[in-house]
Structure 1
């Protein structure tokens, strides 16, 4: 179930000022899902390029006050540059360093959201225009990990 939503979450821009993304946090038992949705309405650093900084700030400013920072956390990033969603796994999850990405198909993303009791969230983001489906429609993604 959705625990919190933070539209326009600011993070440091590499050049000047701040960039932002939309953050949605879900919890199912002892698992947390963080969805970072990069938006094209700022000229700043993308979430992809600042992912480690963004993840640490989300953990400190959003997860910790909710008591969620020590739970198993799964990360999904929607890239405005690539136009697709990816799961993100950190080689050093405690320090949130060394991210690796694996693209998700829309169906896989939908299954993950449903597992966190948000079955209609993907359609809502597409309807509101915060996710574009056109580049993503023909994408063939990997199989879902067993823990979803």
Structure 2
């Protein structure tokens, strides 16, 4: 079996689920890809980070994780949830061998905004680690 490519094109989602899927991507040494024309934003970046190899031809955007306010949880409990996700997200990125400066950049951007990463940012944060492979020949 050849290498497995995980194509990413997502506006984000649940950070906890993304980290869980990311650990599976890393366990099996899959390659993560954001193709030209695709976007990978928010929780999707945790999937991109998990790739044994990573290719970015599209756009990647980051922001602070968003936690839904259920209207019942107290302010203290909400603050504790944010503290927990902050610690877990930082540890996850370290587990993926990425610099904590990526986490810091995420936390600097409010969850209702997006910071689009430049090619230099992607390289600095270790989110690109390969050239795109040659296209595979079509199977008749």
- Name the TM-score, length of structure 1 as normaliser: 0.30
Higher Rg of the two aligned structures: 2
- Larger relative strand fraction: 1
- Name the TM-score, length of structure 2 as normaliser: 0.31
- Larger relative helix fraction: 2
